[in-house]
Structure formats: C-alpha cells, structure tokens
Amino acid sequence: MTDITTLRTYLNRNRFMPQPPAELHYVGDGDYRAIGAEFLEHLIRRADLASSDRVLDIGCGVGRLALPLTQFLDQGSYDGVDPVAAGIEWCTSSVTPIYPNFRFHHLDLSHPIYNPTGTVATRSVRLPFADGSFDLVCMISVLTHLERDDILQYASEISRLLAPGGRCFATAFVMNPPARVALTQGKGSIGFAGDGPGPIYYGVEGSPLAAVAFDEDVLLELFFRHGLYRRNPAAYGFWSGRPGTSFQDICVFDKAVSR
C-alpha cells in the first residue's frame, strides 16, 4: 500500500491497531493517531521511506510513529528508544507481540522533564546498536528538548548507526530571519523571544528544556561535524507564526558517502 492518501485514511480508520491509554499520552498535544499518520506521510514524501527500511526512532515515546509504521514496514524493521520506562513497557507488551519486527528499548537517560532520576547523561550516550544498522533514523520533537552538547552526541551516534545512503529525519525549532520577524510580531505559539541574542533560545520560563530553539546555522553545523548534510531547505513549521504544514520545522539529513 503506497498511495499516501489511501494509507492515511486506512490508518485513521483502522480499529485493530492498539492505542495507549490516555494517561500515557505524554508526547505532545493533538490527536495521537492522526499525528502518527501525518508523520508517516512526511517520512514517505521527504525522507524516501521504503517498506524495507530499517528504522530507528529516537524518542519513540508511546509508539505514536511506530503504530502507523507497522502498516508500512512489511519487509523492514523498527527499533524505538526512549527514556520513559512506562511508554516502552506499553509498546513492548502491546505492539511487539503482534509485530515482532518492532522492538522497543528503554534508555535511562537523565532529563529534567521526562526522566529526572535517569542515570545516563545524553551527552555521553552510546546507543545499543551496531555500526551501520539503520537506513533511517527519526528524531521527532527530540531536538526541541535538548542542549547543544546532547545534540552533538546524537549526531555522532546517528552518523555511526546509519548505513551508506542513510537518512535522518528530525524536527526542530529553527530560528532564522522569517521566524524572528513572526515572533517579534507576536504571532508565535511558544514564548521564544525573536529579538533574543541566541544561538540557543528557551521558550518556557522556569523549564528551559520544555522548548528549545537554535539558530539555523548552529543546528546545521552540529550535524555537519559528523558528516550529516541537510538535503534541502527545511519544511518550516508554523510554531513561530509563519505559514507551514506542520507545527515544528522538518529537516532531512543525508549521511556523507565516504570516498
């Protein structure tokens, strides 16, 4: 099933896909199933997702992306990692028994919002997979909750884990002139200061990692250091008040080919 419109309709109507209880919906606002279907469409259109891809979902939460992927990755595989143990437990008990090529892994990463008692610092994490294990790595609403050194470590790990021709699909709050203009006009939906000095911006007073934005060139350079190059301009979102088709900005990075 490759027609995107048909696939989205099918996913939204499929009554037999498991869905987590309301108390586990800790990964953002909006309709759980509709947002999952939206991002499956983005992966197909923007990141060349194939049904045979080996996918790593960093910050998989409670399976919002995993569930629609179960209907697409008929020849591929999926691994999800997350610091919230309850979400991993639900996915492992509710998704993996039905779809054994979907696996979930708890990482005890320290994060003041999602896992304050975690024992591992993100800036030193090594993900539990072999080099070149994946064709596509996803980071949806992950960069928006991290400091610069954390992102740099993830970029290093993503570069290590991607096979030749691999891609990284990531969403972020990217600060650039159009975003600044919209924010200074009061159009934004998060409390970022468009006239702030940068290069890092915090949108929620008293909880810095609740919403983090980066100057665009700074964010791109963190990935560039590890041979990951954004293939096209971002598909900019409407978080800042500028027009967009999704809330956060979408970036797709390609792994440089060694010569």
> For residue 153, what is the domain's CATH number?
3.40.50.150
User: For residue 186, is it within any domain?
Assistant: yes
The answer to whether residue 225 is domain-embedded is: yes
Residue 65 lies in a domain: yes
- Amino acid (one-letter) located at 134: F
Tokens of 168: 């990284």
Taking the alpha carbons of 252, 240, 83, 209 in that order, is the dihedral positive or negative? positive
Note the pLDDT of residue 28: 57
Q: Which residues contact 64 (CB under 8 A, 6 or more apart)?
A: 27, 32, 35, 36, 39
In a domain, 15, yes or no: no
Find where tokens 């992306």 sit.
65
- Reported as type and span, the H/E element at residue 66 is helix 66-70
Asked whether residue 31 is domain-assigned, the answer is: no
| Domain-located, residue 71 | yes
pLDDT score of 259: 47
Whole-angstrom Cα distance, residue 191 to residue 12?
32
> What sign does the CA torsion over 71, 46, 173, 8 have?
negative
Angstrom distance (rounded) from CA 85 to CA 105: 9
Kindly state the tokens that stand for 100.
């054994």
Q: What is the pLDDT along the chain (259 residues), one digit of tens a residue?
A: 456 665 666 565 555 577 777 766 655 566 777 888 899 999 999 999 999 999 999 999 999 999 999 999 999 999 999 999 999 999 999 999 999 999 999 999 999 999 999 999 999 999 999 999 999 999 999 999 999 999 999 999 999 999 999 999 999 999 999 999 999 999 999 999 999 999 999 999 999 999 999 999 999 999 999 999 999 999 999 999 999 989 999 999 999 876 4
Structural domain for 176, as ranges: 38-255
Q: Which helix (H) or strand (E) holds 44?
A: helix 32-47
Whole-angstrom distance, CA of residue 190 vs CA of residue 178: 15
Handedness of CA 182, 184, 186, 188 (dihedral sign): positive
- Does 17 map to a domain? no
Residue environment code for 153-191, b if the CB has 16+ CB neighbours within 10 A, otherwise e:
bbbbbbbbbbeeebbbbbbbbbbbeebbebbeeeebebe
Inside any domain, residue 8: no
pLDDT score at 19 = 79
Number of domains, the chain: 1
Give pTM, 2 decimals. 0.92
pLDDT given for residue 1 in this prediction: 42
